Structure 1
């Protein structure tokens, strides 16, 4: 009887185990969603604290006579900036978790997408005193990719380029086919550029020199760009040299290659 009872107990366990797995997954999803919503709500006020603390730290509105106050402001800025980096990484992680599962590949008019994205950011360029230009090569093929994530890639890269290029500079988004039939989209700026260490930090989600618009942004997002590019079967690369600007390139394989890479 003991053996039979043990066997019956073992037979019952798989069903309970499956229920437990479902419950754990639902709890995990709810927790992740709650953390994402909380991070999103915290991002705006903490961004405001970073920006205000930076203005005070740099004494843009006048000197802070008390040295202790200057020290306090520096501490506030440093800690708030660190919190903002953590929040950005939480937000990026949530997007990355969902990226591959939520892609909806369709045929995309590459030129139309590039021009529409540049047009949407034109007011930001004008406000920053920058020239934003578009160059499209002949014979540009259509893409088979997820349009939402591709636009997110371009917006992210263009926003970074505009943010880190000084007033009077230029940002170019160009698209052209390469000899092997791949589609190449590049965002090129003539900003201050980065050395090797700064480039590695940028790819890790941290810009080690301040943006030119005084926003206190940290350049978070290149890891997300890389992940979304890979999810769409594309390659992402970043090249930069001090004083010579930065070039961010996304290279999309032909549609047949992308479909093959997504096949089960």
Structure 2
């Protein structure tokens, strides 16, 4: 049973900590405090150089996921540039002003991605029926969907995540994300059927200088990826796999 641990990072120290902790894949962003934006080309090259598979966030601006034609065109070009840098996949999404996913934009992103994996991010958590959305996204040829099951935390959306896994079938993987730690990952795996999890594995960094706060250059301490938390997640997943294997063997006796 193959289980994947993806760690989201937004700087060089985060890349190094995630790799040192044993991440199976990096979701590379800028500005995680804003939900993740498109990273710089230099940061992409630095992450790819580690040899750990990299999924690159494609999101030019913060806020909601409603995109105009110019933003869609820019994102298509960013997909191509990321592929040229050697990324394994892209992470993106788009919604309509009246609600629901923008399937026309998603189809255009799928076309631009070509041979790299394409992941729909948590824009799906904003739609009224994420299970039906899974079926439509699968039909577009997407490879993965990152979701918390429409809830603030994945453990709160576990029932919906389980239904999404069932709707995804064999050709699309649901990645559970939001609020996942070494304390709850085994429960989530057991109750949803997901085989990929996404986490920040972070802790607060040092407080910024008061002048930086006063001028609005910082909002507070930035979270930093912690290699120890990544390792703890890996071990919790491995322990769950061992317990499942033991139960399966006991059932055969």
TM-score (structure 2 length as normaliser): 0.23
Higher relative contact order (CA 8 A, sep 6+): 2
User: Which has the greater radius of gyration?
Assistant: 1
